[in-house]
Structure 1
Amino acid sequence: MSDSPRDRRRVYVKHLRGLEKALRSENRSAATEARRSLAHLRYGLVEGKQHQASVVAFRRGQPQDSEEKKVWLLLGGLFALHPLNWANPPGPRSLGSSLGRLQKKLGSSRVERRLSALLAMDRDSLPHHLRQTVRLLSSHDVPVHYEQLLDDLVVLLGRNHRGDLASDVRLRWASEYSMPVSAETPQDSPDFPETTE
């Protein structure tokens, strides 16, 4: 089995999806443990307390790069705020597509303003705006494709956050925002299979 950075990210997101599944479990012990783990992951969003999230975030492994470790902690915190994963959507997968789905649901110009703000944020400001965005998506039960978001954040918050790859991520978010998406959520449709990495 390969141990590439991308493979490690997949294992991490699979671990997070396992928490989501346990949270909905009828097994009270599993659901309680999942709630406890999600509470620890939320510390990944609190400056100076990220180490408390690392116990859960790095349980199945961790990235070798210290910058990427911070991204994993941020993503774990975002997932803990809104553990509704958009598993293998057909077509667009970015945060822009989730915001596009929200726009179609609400018909509000505030969603487009939120996307514009995200696209304009620098590396230091982006995490705060991501928290607000994920909370907004959570309040309307719009799923997030966390595996894609992790890959995107590794670029946007990494060493080359001003390079061509970061521009490509922002362009994809903007273009996928306007693409048509299904009105179904993963729970509504059996056509959203779980990944089995």
Structure 2
Amino acid sequence: MTEPMTVRDRRQAFVDNLYARERGTRSKNPKYAGDCRQALARMRRMFSGTRQQTEAFEYVFPYDPPQAEQDTWLLVAGLFALNPQPPRSRKGRRTFGASMGELKAKTGTAADRRFTQLLARDRDALSHHLRQTVRLLASHGIPIDHHQLLDDLVVLLGENYRGDHAHQIRLNWARDYHVPARNGRSTEAVADNDDEEPEPGDAS
């Protein structure tokens, strides 16, 4: 008898599927590549309104997000579609602060104010500010670790967004933003694979 997937397993499978969609856009199979591009476009449109958000449901709900996390999973799907890039490395995790630190390395102190504002945003305003910031990262070709981002946002946008765990997440982001040598962003190789990918599977 197959053991049921834990919430962490389901989060992992959900984000793995997002990355599979990105890889699929570079497939040598034109139909598959087109399907993946269409999927990303639908997820991207979810920020346009409630009706458009429903187009993203088929990419999220097969992975059975806990009810308290549904909005966060949908948000991460949309954020991924705004900046669909493979992660820097398959080894370890990379916080959003590390991605912002890479932006600072490219743009200088202009990133400081934006990052400070991001850390200071309360739960209600964080989603909007993240959308703006992710677009900026995309414009500079800076990837995001969406596995780590989902885990972090489940806390930052959850009921305990003022708790100790949320505070520690913000500290982790700040540390990785201000101490680039510790997150190794100058030495990590882009994890990319142009081989033919299987179609993203369902969550069964």
Bin for the TM-score computed over the shorter chain: 0.7 to 0.9
The match for 2:37 is 35
Relative to the length of structure 1, the TM-score reads 0.86
Relative to the length of structure 2, the TM-score reads 0.84
User: Contact 2:95 / 2:173 at 8 angstroms: preserved in 1?
Assistant: yes
For 1:4-83, what aligned pairs fall within 5 Å after superposition?
4-49=6-51, 50-59=53-62, 61-65=63-67, 67-83=68-84
1:93-121 alpha-carbon deviations (Å, 9 max, x no partner):
10000011111122x21211111111000
Offset of residue 2 of structure 1: 4.9
- % identical aligned pairs: 44
Structure 2, gaps ≥5 residues long? 194-204
Amino acid at match of 1:56: Y
User: Contact 1:94 / 1:145 at 8 angstroms: preserved in 2?
Assistant: yes
Provide the aligned length of Structure 1 versus Structure 2: 186
Q: Which has the higher contact order (CA 8 A, sep 6+)?
A: 2
Offset of residue 187 of structure 1: 5.3
1:106-153 alpha-carbon deviations (Å, 9 max, x no partner):
2x2121111111100011110111011111110111110000000000
The match for 1:119 is 119
User: Contact 1:44 / 1:77 at 8 angstroms: preserved in 2?
Assistant: yes
The match for 1:186 is 190
For 1:92-171, what aligned pairs fall within 5 Å after superposition?
93-106=94-107, 108-171=108-171
The match for 1:192 is none
1:57-76 alpha-carbon deviations (Å, 9 max, x no partner):
223x22122x3110010000
Q: CA RMSD in A?
A: 2.0
User: Contact 1:39 / 1:80 at 8 angstroms: preserved in 2?
Assistant: yes
User: Contact 1:85 / 1:146 at 8 angstroms: preserved in 2?
Assistant: no
Greater than 6 Å deviation, 4+ residue runs: none
